[in-house]
Structure 1
Amino acid sequence: MKNEIYIVSHKDLKLPSNELYYPLQVGKKNSRYAGYLQDDTGDNISAKNPYYCELTAQYWAWKNRSAAIQGIVHYRRFFADSLTHNQVITRQPFKSILDATFLEKLLTNHQMILPPKQTFWEPNLWLHYRFQHQTVGMEKVREVIKELFPSYLAAFNQVMFHQRSAHMYNMLIAKQPLFSAYSDWLFSVLAATEKNLDIRNFSRYEQRVFGFLSEFLLNVWIKKNQIDIVEVPLIFTEHRNYLTEAGKFLRRRLVKQSQLKTKLSIKDSKFY
């Protein structure tokens, strides 16, 4: 069977001419891009893209493809072909992205390829999420895990209350059985959470809640199942505006701080 890495995109862009990579169009489709796979065919949750983000691509790949190795990257973020450091490469970036030879080597020695961890300001990931998003989403996730997946509760507590860093972006590559096992668990948790979470009054940004939640759930699943991962640096094909990103980050934090009367500590958490 072929190995397939799906490039999640809502834009029609120049993408790698490499048999390892498969562009996958997600989101609202006024037109269909030539050469792209489509997340609204077969068994799909394409209509949930405003809430699930790139997860509609992961769901589609899980349900409709059967490659030996499956992975998710983004149109502007790719795994690198070396274990050096993250880079921004705007001219001919595809010469520096993960190729089939390096992929096979990595997954011979490890179970899953992930981006490098990001470390946040707050003392734990629960507080980070709380100061950036509607906390009720993570509260509902914990309730679902406690009720339906109790063997994962200790891992959830460890990740969310005792870690400051996490693998983000919903990017991963693994052999098909592991990709499938993770997807099965993830979408089961999110489906149960969705039934109990009212997002009608969320801002448009916050309605992407299931995409936000999944970034943390990946870390919980890895912790619980003791997955042997390898961190591979990213190639960014666009320059990031760190000043703008920092401004948005601080605005969200200040708004949340103004809404919260007291700062949640691990001891004070009603969940721990």
Structure 2
Amino acid sequence: MNEALKQLLDLLDLEQIELDIFRGRSPEDRLQRVFGGQVAGQALVAAARTVPDDRRVHSLHAYFIRPGDPSVPIVYTVDRIRDGRSFTTRRVVALQHGKAIFTMSASFHVPEPGISHQGATMPAVPLPESLPTWNERMRSIFGDDTDPWWSGPRPFDARYVTPMTWEARRDPALRQPETNVWLRAEGELPDDPLLHIVLMAYASDFTLVDTILLAHGLAWGESRMMGASLDHAMWFHREFRADEWLLYAQESPISGQARGLARGQVFTASGELAVSVVQEAMIRVLD
């Protein structure tokens, strides 16, 4: 397990400060704002701490309300909305400076048998081992000018099948509203189904907005562009491991009125659909 993944697992281990109230912190890299996947992962951990062990999270629906301040802790309050015989519902509010920065509703379900089918098909893509690593890809784009935050150790090994936004910014022929990327946590993880789901919630926010930007030749770091996640929804269909290769297939069906929509499907290496994701983001071009 690399150091970045160890630090992420530490960030996800929230401090309980009162019944149904938890405190989380941010990494010390002092980004301009807290990464959305971090808040989503921590909020899901807070919700799960109030749910019986026999129930598994099957969906979450979240709104990003204000930018998170990475210099101060985040307080998570959990409302026990419902405890039914099969389903449990929780609402989480993340607070900083006395104001809500994020809200999430999460639903948990006692595993039970039922009808089963899969209509989704995993895209035919190269194996992850045949693709360059994130750092290799970044060096090929920026050379020695790569920002240290982008080129340092990361908790996930990400292997892009499709162009990255910085590549499409330079070459219009690469612009498309689709992204396929292989993901795998950088180390062996415990056999805790919740941990693997929380890590996928964290990683799911990395590239969805990129899929919208990719269609327009926009990329992070441009002074003329502002982007931020607005809302985020996930459905967890079957158990999976975040320390094994997962294909994150994403597409953006539409953008307009300073917003863009992106959808994602997470497949196991054997082609089983494990997670579905939808996100809307604000995209402002400052011409």
Task: Name the TM tier (shorter chain).
Answer: under 0.3
Length-normalised TM-score, structure 2 = 0.26
Q: Which has the higher contact order (CA 8 A, sep 6+)?
A: 1
Higher helix share: 1
Higher strand share: 2
